[in-house]
């Protein structure tokens, strides 16, 4: 018998992936992935990190595959969402020990996603033959990874943080976003990662095919980036985004209610030359009906100056009725309109499974809110345009933001990232808002309490940004847009269909090899 000659790449892969070395490498690769996202923006690390993971999943038993996927997730989420601790301990009133415990539980739970994915792939497709492993890399691993990202984006109301596609907002692959959304960009990242591994370990046609695939993927993205999907809608709009910089621990103090409202009113009066002025989430620290006269007075001033406002406020339907995290329109010929936040954050804006978890939360003394969810995505008519509004965390869900289209000619997000202090969360959150603008082909106005307040164009590029943790009025001009990107038209349906096709193309041959018996495995 002739000895099988291994390439240098194969020998290196065997050495690195062996036993505990491979486990440690999986943890390290996961820990590196968040560096591809804001505020670091090392976007090439995303395909390199996933390439390492996919290589470590080859030719291992299901238990080992699960462990490596789990370790990768622990590194990825342990570094990338460590800001959860800041929101609970520094600003949420939760004690140190409980904050550490809840943050750890959250990270370990999220780590189950890549762990279970790896286990399922190794259990269902255990083939170790070179041809089978090449097929896994070419199609199965990248498609399954993105499908699992998509599931994480809606399972248990969804947590789409650290979706690989966001890391590419400043790279060539971002051109896929208007076509297939952020998960389509993720698919391009995952395919690049898998084909990179094929380049290093495969031979012959597989290697040439992988090289051609990478060239076509990145070259095609560069061509796609020149396509314009939308057109201007009317004249440019002068806008002002107000940032009050109210510390989270002071925001709801009764004694500071009137000074806070006067601060925003003063910033507004300095911005009357703008067509649209936006205040951040719950900028008015009171129930709307308790301060309705204040809103009416602003409306009179706005009409005198030809301006309109969007203001974050808490809205209650009636005494003891449900209340909402809302945005109100003020000024202009239209009657006052409200957008009520639809996608609430579990455990902070409402308690899921209240009958089961209510006693536990009460025992642990975790502060809770009890908002109700709104139901309409209808844009608000302001300043002669229509604004698709989202509040805080809602801009993490692309499929929900496009519900305001095609009527909306611009997007507005109001948020309060003061919860996350000086952590990396506000930077990551801004990156997600940029992706929403690119997917929808609409400018995005993002007004925040402490930062990062920013104006983005329809390609997700930041036009201007306010300094963080300063009182600031950000003035800029945006071009409202009309028309529909492919993603705005079809949402995630096209991407999920494509993933299922790739899974079938890669999985069915492997399944036939598995069921055909040992004779077919050579």
Joined tokens for residue 400: 């929900």
Report how far residue 406's alpha carbon sits from residue 408's, in angstroms, rounded to the nearest whole number. 6
Q: Is position 52 annotated as part of the catalytic site?
A: no
Q: Is 234 left (phi over 0), alpha (psi -120 to 50) or beta?
A: left
Buried b (16+ CB within 10 A) or exposed e, 46-63: bbbbbbbbbbbbbbbeee
Report how far residue 202's alpha carbon sits from residue 36's, in angstroms, rounded to the nearest whole number. 27
Q: Is position 470 annotated as part of the catalytic site?
A: no
Q: What is the 3-state secondary structure (H, E, C) of 235-292?
A: CCEEEEEEECCCCCCCCCCHHHHHHHHHHHHHHHHCCCCCCEEECCCCCEEEEHHHCH
Does 159 sit behind a cis peptide bond, omega within 30 degrees of 0 on the bond before it?
Answer: no
* Sequence-separated (6 or more) residues with CB below 8 Å from residue 502: 139, 140, 142, 143
For 112, the 3-state DSSP assignment is: helix
Options 392, 394, 439, 458, the catalytic residue: 392
Report how far residue 224's alpha carbon sits from residue 358's, in angstroms, rounded to the nearest whole number. 50
Crossing angle of helices 62-80 and 112-124, in 10° steps, is 160
Strand locations in 146-244 (E): 231-232, 237-243
Q: Is position 392 annotated as part of the catalytic site?
A: yes
Using alpha carbons, list the distances in angstroms from residue 435 to 181, 458, 459, 461: 8, 10, 8, 9
Options 281, 349, 400, 439, the catalytic residue: 281
Specify burial of residue 187 (Cβ count, 10 A radius: 0-12, 13-18, 19+): buried
Joined tokens for residue 413: 């997000």
Strand locations in 380-471 (E): 380-382, 385-391, 410-415, 444-448, 454-456, 462-465
Q: What is the distance between the terminal CA atoms of the chain, rounded to a whole angstrom? A: 15
* DSSP H or E segment with residue 70: helix 62-80
Exposure of 95 in the CB half-sphere (CA atoms within 13 A): 5
Specify burial of residue 111 (Cβ count, 10 A radius: 0-12, 13-18, 19+): buried
Options 52, 149, 251, 341, the catalytic residue: 341
Active-site annotation, residues: 281, 341, 392
């Amino acid at each position: 018998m002739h000895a099988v000659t291994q390439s240098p790449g194969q020998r290196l892969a065997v050495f690195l992936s062996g036993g505990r070395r491979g486990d440690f490498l999986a943890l390290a690769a996961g820990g590196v992935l968040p560096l591809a996202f804001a505020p670091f923006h090392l976007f090439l690390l995303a395909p390199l990190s996933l390439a390492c993971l996919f290589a470590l999943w080859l030719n291992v038993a299901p238990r080992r595959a699960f462990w490596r996927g789990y370790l990768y997730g622990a590194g990825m989420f342990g570094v990338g969402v460590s800001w959860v601790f800041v929101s609970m301990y520094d600003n949420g009133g939760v004690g140190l020990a409980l904050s550490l415990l809840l943050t750890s539980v959250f990270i370990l739970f999220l780590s189950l996603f890549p762990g279970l994915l790896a286990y399922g792939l190794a259990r269902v497709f255990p083939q170790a033959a070179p041809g089978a492993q090449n097929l896994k890399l070419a199609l199965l691993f990248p498609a399954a990874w993105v499908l699992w990202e998509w599931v994480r984006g809606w399972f248990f109301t969804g947590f789409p943080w650290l979706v690989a596609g966001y890391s590419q907002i400043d790279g060539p692959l971002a051109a896929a976003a208007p076509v297939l959304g952020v998960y389509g960009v993720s698919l391009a990242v995952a395919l690049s990662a898998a084909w990179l591994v094929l380049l290093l370990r495969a031979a012959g046609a597989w290697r040439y095919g992988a090289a051609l695939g990478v060239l076509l993927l990145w070259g095609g993205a560069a061509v796609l980036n020149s396509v314009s999907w939308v057109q201007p809608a009317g004249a440019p709009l002068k806008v002002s985004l107000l940032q009050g910089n109210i510390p989270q621990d002071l925001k709801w103090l009764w004694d500071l209610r009137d000074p806070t409202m006067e601060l925003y009113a003063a910033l507004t009066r300095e911005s009357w030359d703008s067509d649209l002025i936006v205040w951040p989430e719950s900028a008015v620290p009171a129930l709307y009906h308790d301060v309705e006269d204040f809103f009416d007075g602003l409306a009179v001033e706005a009409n005198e100056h030809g301006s309109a406002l969007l203001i974050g406020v808490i809205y209650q339907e009636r005494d003891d009725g449900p209340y909402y995290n809302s945005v109100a329109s003020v000024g202009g010929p239209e009657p006052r309109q409200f957008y009520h936040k639809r996608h609430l954050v579990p455990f902070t804006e409402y308690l899921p499974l209240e009958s089961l978890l209510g006693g536990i939360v009460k025992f642990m003394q975790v502060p809770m809110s009890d908002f109700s969810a709104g139901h309409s995505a209808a844009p608000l008519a302001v300043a002669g345009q229509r604004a698709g509004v989202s509040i805080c965390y809602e801009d993490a869900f692309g499929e929900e933001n496009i519900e305001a289209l095609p009527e909306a000619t611009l997007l507005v997000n109001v948020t309060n990232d003061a919860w996350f202090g000086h952590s990396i969360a506000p930077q990551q959150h801004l990156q997600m808002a940029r992706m929403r603008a690119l997917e929808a082909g609409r400018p995005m106005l993002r007004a925040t309490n402490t930062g990062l307040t920013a104006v983005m164009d329809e390609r997700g590029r930041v036009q201007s940004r306010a300094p963080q943790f300063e009182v600031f009025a950000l003035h800029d001009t945006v071009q409202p847009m009309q028309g529909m990107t492919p993603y705005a038209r079809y949402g995630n349906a096209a991407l999920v269909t494509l993933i299922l096709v790739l899974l079938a193309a890669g999985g069915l041959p492997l399944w036939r090899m598995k069921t055909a018996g040992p004779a077919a495995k050579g």
